[in-house]
Structure 1
Amino acid sequence: MKPYTLIIADDHVMFRQGIRKIINANPALKIIGEASNGVELLEMLKQTVPDLILLDISMPQIQGLEAAKEIKKRYPKLKILILTMHKSNEYLNYALSVGADGYLLKEDADTELFSAIDTIRQQGTYISPLLSPQLKDLLLRKYREDRSQFPEDPLTKREKEILRLIAEGKSSKEIGAVLFISSRTVEHHRANMMRKLGCRKIAELVRYAIQKGYTSDQVLLL
């Protein structure tokens, strides 16, 4: 079986060596590169794209979360596991918002790294055990806020189809091609949805789509 490939991005050489030692113990995994900062990582990805990046937050030149945002834009299928010392909700929330597939505390890495990788390989989102209660509280609070903001679903079937495609990042032209309608018609439906839902930004439409389950994204709390 082809090994699952990884790149480690962390500015601490000793930490990278420690993670390499853990990963080398698993023959199903293979490290194909190391980067010490975000710029180096982005340059490395031009040459070789792994299955998963182990990415630190605090790095010079380009911070990890900014790098993650750019990576997901360029390589949307590439998986990212944030590997960090930061325990705050703000970092966790932002990491998930830019598309990170997991958030593992460095202090958990020696016991949880393989579990995190396995969860991500199975299309789940991994959260460090020490942070799971925080995440549950965060998601519950957001869910309650969303429920109060969107108590009913006033959208038509066609609008739901368009909203799902918007949440997937497709342009009006691309949506029109999928649904065999004009881009102008797509924009008309989008304007109607924003009016119905009281949204001022596309990001609010996407948040509504996620809250209503119109997307396929799933978060596994482990």
Structure 2
Amino acid sequence: MARPVTVLLADDHSLVRGSLASWLRNSGISVVSEVGNADAAVTEAIRLKPDVVVLDIDMPGLQCFDAARAIRARCPGTRVLFLSAFFNDRFIEDALRVEASGYITKGEPPQAVVQAIHAVMSGGVYFSPEVQSRLVIDGGGVRLEHARATRSSTLTTREVEVLRYVARGMAKKEIAATMHLSVKTIDNHCTSLMNKLDIHDRVELARFAIREGLAEP
């Protein structure tokens, strides 16, 4: 009998994580660990070497794409699947850059995660329909259909992370504590965001993030 596929789940929402873990186990998949932040995902992936890591994009701690890069470097046999409520071009491009095997939107049913896991274990890739509509998948690999020069594409990964926290209504001190950075550094990121986006207050920053699909309304 073939051994079950092993999966590590990383999502900071315990209800989502627990429900998905139960669904996967009922589908014959072995969930070897459940964690609530990206730092723990890296630690557990290195320790357990699972077949697949399902990694939520919006978690506290280490930036998720940095976590995926670390997992791919230390565990070359492990596939990374991103799970997210967002499917902005910037996130999709970052996921492709770290060689993720797929990108699943949270609007899909749990069965889609099962399908994605089986797809990547068979050597394929899996992208939700909303994501796939923006991609070209051919002999040359997977890439965005066209590089759109949007204002959000000029932002660094750190700036996007700060922008998402601003959209949640978090104060600079809270953002600094969450990202393990100084308040001055967060202030510099906010200033850079406003300059790049030609926006002059935090309310407009939050509206921009929601409009661009970088944050939940």
**TM-score, normalising length: structure 1:** 0.60
Measured in 1, the distance between the counterparts of 2:87 and 2:45 equals 28
Name the larger-Rg structure.
1
Structure 2 partner of 1:84: 84
Alignment of 1:61-72 (within 5 A): 61-72=61-72
Residue type matched to 1:85 in 2? Answer: A
Report how many aligned residue pairs link the two structures: 141
Structure 2 partner of 1:197: none
Unaligned stretches of 5+ residues in structure 1: 143-222
Kindly tell me: are residues 39 and 127 of structure 1, through their superposed partners in 2, closer, same or farther at Cα, counting changes over 3 Å?
same
Residue type matched to 1:102 in 2? Answer: G
Alignment of 1:22-101 (within 5 A): 22-27=23-28, 29-101=29-101
Contact 1:6 1:32 in 2 (8 A): yes
Structure 1 partner of 2:15: 14
Measured in 1, the distance between the counterparts of 2:114 and 2:128 equals 12
Post-superposition offset of 1:141: 3.0
Structure 2 partner of 1:189: none
Measured in 2, the distance between the counterparts of 1:52 and 1:34 equals 12
Post-superposition offset of 1:20: 1.0
Measured in 2, the distance between the counterparts of 1:68 and 1:43 equals 12
**TM-score, normalising length: structure 2:** 0.61
Contact 2:45 2:53 in 1 (8 A): no
Residue type matched to 1:49 in 2? Answer: K
Residue 141 (1) aligns with residue 146 (2) = yes
Structure 1 partner of 2:161: none
3-state DSSP class of the match of 1:3? coil
Partner deviation per Cα, 1:27-85 (whole Å, 9 max, x = no partner): 2x100001111111222234211100010011111122110011111112210110111
Contact 1:89 1:135 in 2 (8 A): no
Residue type matched to 2:40 in 1? Answer: E
Kindly tell me: are residues 46 and 97 of structure 1, through their superposed partners in 2, closer, same or farther at Cα, counting changes over 3 Å?
closer
Structure 2 partner of 1:131: 131
Unaligned stretches of 5+ residues in structure 2: 138-142, 148-217
Contact 2:45 2:75 in 1 (8 A): no
Contact 2:46 2:75 in 1 (8 A): no
Identity, % of aligned positions: 28
Measured in 2, the distance between the counterparts of 1:46 and 1:135 equals 30
Post-superposition offset of 1:114: 1.8
Partner deviation per Cα, 1:133-182 (whole Å, 9 max, x = no partner): 1123964436xxxxxxxxxxxxxxxxxxxxxxxxxxxxxxxxxxxxxxxx
Measured in 1, the distance between the counterparts of 2:87 and 2:31 equals 26
Post-superposition offset of 1:19: 0.5
Measured in 1, the distance between the counterparts of 2:96 and 2:109 equals 19
